[in-house]
């Protein structure tokens, strides 16, 4: 290892399987003096038929061992194609990239142990073979990050808090990083907190349920509710929202994690049944799911965070950061009007007394990380830690008994 900065590509494809985010980062140093800067970000969609198969498998429909093996390798090639295309877009030769960190595509995640052949067992599976990526790109690749944490009794999630802590810790400001992807998750960083005081967990659904309803009602013509246009065209049905907020997952204390296994097809079918019971039109149901996403975040903060910690800022990233209805609900419940998404390095705006919480809601772009790039950027940081043989999980967030060096390293063929 040398002291020179590393150029690292981080890749993330989330539970919604809506595409691959690629972030280019320049990283140097070591914690607590880790220096990282986002240099570029781009994204690519999965081929529609492949995305359909990913979602089918993630919904736990039957697949043979041979088909799963093929899907694992095919995704490796898809990720490699995305990396080479990203290098072309960033106008940087692949040989100049020092490292790749690829989260892979989650198709199963069981964070809490469940009985399996007479023993409580937790497991996770992210696919997209790292050796294929390393061979195709000629770049050392770190992948399969979650199992090392789970082997130490953790839930293997969330892992992004390591990056949140590096990016957002502040000696005087208590901050929460909220990522609204397919699943919504928070990282709580009290003012001046050491790493072992960071709390992080999945709050519940992010965009996953909303997207599924949009695709259902539009027969696949739309994949998401752009600018919450459909939701804002619906009416609020308080009794329906009351049913949704009874969701048992919301009552579980952290550490906790969830995914498509819980908030997938079966969950959406339950919502459709509720919609018929309350005579909800399609836009009514999309509105309810959107508000439920925001309320589940607020519920989590009220129950598990704000009673113990003084929080000054809520930093929002992920696709949900572009949903004005979610942001309006968060603002109404937590305190300050949000700063507009897309504002680059803007100074925090003045507080407005919207509630007694008085928490400023800002977009991650104000910290130099676009809302769509944050998770991919995080896995660039995790890969950098792995290559330097340093741990990158936060046991206070995952529940692991001690720190772990995450991931598996696939070396490129000799040049």
For residue range 148-177, list pLDDT tens digits in order.
Answer: 999 999 999 999 999 999 999 999 999 999
Residue 336 pLDDT: 52
pLDDT, tens digit (0-9, with 9 covering 90-100), for 311-330: 999 999 999 999 999 999 99
Beta bridge partners of 8: 25, 99
Task: Decide if pLDDT at 356 tops 60.
Answer: no
Grade residue 338 by pLDDT with cuts at 50, 70 and 90: very low
Mean pLDDT over each residue of the chain, to the nearest integer: 92
Domains and CATH numbers, the chain: 6-156+375-410 (3.30.420.40), 161-367 (3.30.420.40)
Give the C-alpha separation, 42 to 80, whole Å. Answer: 14
Give the C-alpha separation, 34 to 168, whole Å. Answer: 12
Residue 182 pLDDT: 92
Work out the widest C-alpha separation in the chain, in whole angstroms: 64
Virtual CA dihedral for 260, 265, 267, 272, nearest 10 degrees? 150
Those residues whose C-beta lies under 8 Å from the C-beta of residue 62, and which sit 6 or more positions away, are none
Residue 395 pLDDT: 95
Q: What angle do CA 295, 298, 300 make, to 5 degrees?
A: 110
Select from 40, 4, 35 the least CA-distant residue to 24.
Answer: 40
Grade residue 354 by pLDDT with cuts at 50, 70 and 90: very low
* Continuous H helices in 361-411: 374-387, 395-398
Tokens 């046991």 label which residue? Answer: 395
CA distances from 288 to 70, 261, 279, 291 (A): 39, 21, 13, 5
Give the C-alpha separation, 398 to 11, whole Å. Answer: 21
Give the range among 61-65, 246-250, 353-357, 371-375 with minimum mean pLDDT.
353-357
pTM of the model: 0.86
Tokens of 346: 């803007």
Q: Left if phi > 0, otherwise alpha if psi is -120 to 50, otherwise beta: which for 60?
A: left
Virtual CA dihedral for 136, 139, 145, 151, nearest 10 degrees? 100
Sequential DSSP letters for 138-185: -S-EEE--HHHHHTTT--S---THHHHHHHH--SS--EEEEEESSEEE
What is the mean pLDDT of the segment spanning 241-259?
94
Question: Are the C-beta atoms of residues 43 and 22 closer than 8 Å to each other?
Answer: yes
Q: What angle do CA 193, 199, 201 make, to 5 degrees?
A: 160
Residue 351 pLDDT: 31
Grade residue 370 by pLDDT with cuts at 50, 70 and 90: confident
Specify the 3-state DSSP secondary structure of 298. helix
* Continuous H helices in 205-264: 208-217, 229-232, 238-244, 248-251, 260-263
Q: How many CA atoms lie within 13 A of 280 on its CB side?
A: 28
Residue 358 pLDDT: 85
Grade residue 346 by pLDDT with cuts at 50, 70 and 90: very low
Question: Are the C-beta atoms of residues 176 and 313 closer than 8 Å to each other?
Answer: yes
What is the mean pLDDT of the segment spanning 394-412?
96
Give the C-alpha separation, 181 to 143, whole Å. Answer: 20
Beta bridge partners of 184: 180, 204
């Amino acid at each position: 290892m040398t002291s020179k900065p590393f150029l690292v590509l981080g890749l993330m494809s989330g539970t919604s399987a809506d595409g691959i985010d690629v972030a280019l980062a320049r990283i140097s140093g070591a914690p607590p003096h880790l220096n990282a800067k986002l240099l570029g970000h781009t994204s690519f969609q999965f081929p529609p038929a492949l995305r359909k198969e990913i979602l089918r498998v993630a919904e736990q429909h039957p697949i043979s061992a041979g088909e799963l093996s093929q899907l694992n390798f095919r995704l490796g090639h898809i990720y490699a194609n995305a990396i080479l295309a990203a290098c072309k877009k960033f106008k940087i030769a692949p040989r100049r990239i020092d490292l790749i960190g690829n989260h892979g595509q989650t198709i199963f995640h069981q964070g809490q142990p469940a009985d399996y052949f007479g023993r409580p067992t937790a497991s996770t599976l992210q696919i997209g073979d790292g050796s294929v990526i390393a061979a195709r790109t000629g770049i050392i690749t770190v992948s399969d990050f979650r199992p090392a944490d789970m082997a130490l009794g953790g839930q293997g999630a969330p892992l992004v808090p390591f990056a949140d802590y590096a990016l957002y810790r502040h000696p005087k400001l208590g901050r929460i990083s909220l990522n609204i992807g397919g699943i919504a998750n928070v990282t709580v960083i009290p003012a001046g907190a050491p790493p072992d005081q960071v709390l992080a967990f999945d709050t519940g659904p992010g965009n996953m349920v909303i997207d599924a309803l949009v695709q259902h009602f539009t027969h696949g013509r739309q994949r998401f509710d752009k600018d919450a246009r459909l939701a804002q065209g619906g009416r609020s049905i308080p009794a329906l929202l009351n049913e949704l907020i009874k969701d048992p997952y919301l009552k579980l204390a952290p550490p906790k994690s969830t995914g498509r296994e819980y908030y997938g097809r079966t969950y959406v079918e339950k919502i459709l049944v509720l919609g018929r019971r309350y005579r909800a039109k399609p836009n009514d149901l999309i509105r309810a799911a959107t508000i439920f996403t925001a309320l589940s975040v607020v519920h989590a903060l009220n129950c598990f965070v704000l009673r113990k910690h003084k929080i000054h800022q809520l930093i929002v990233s992920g696709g949900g950061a572009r949903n004005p209805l979610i942001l309006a609900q968060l603002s109404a419940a937590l305190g300050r009007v949000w700063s507009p998404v897309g504002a680059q390095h803007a100074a925090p705006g003045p507080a407005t007394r919207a509630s007694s919480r008085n928490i400023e809601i800002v977009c991650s772009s104000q910290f130099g990380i676009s809302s769509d790039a944050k998770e991919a950027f995080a896995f660039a940081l995790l890969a950098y830690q792995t290559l330097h043989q340093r741990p990158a999980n936060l046991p206070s967030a995952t529940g692991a008994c001690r720190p772990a060096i995450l991931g598996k390293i696939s070396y490129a063929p000799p040049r």
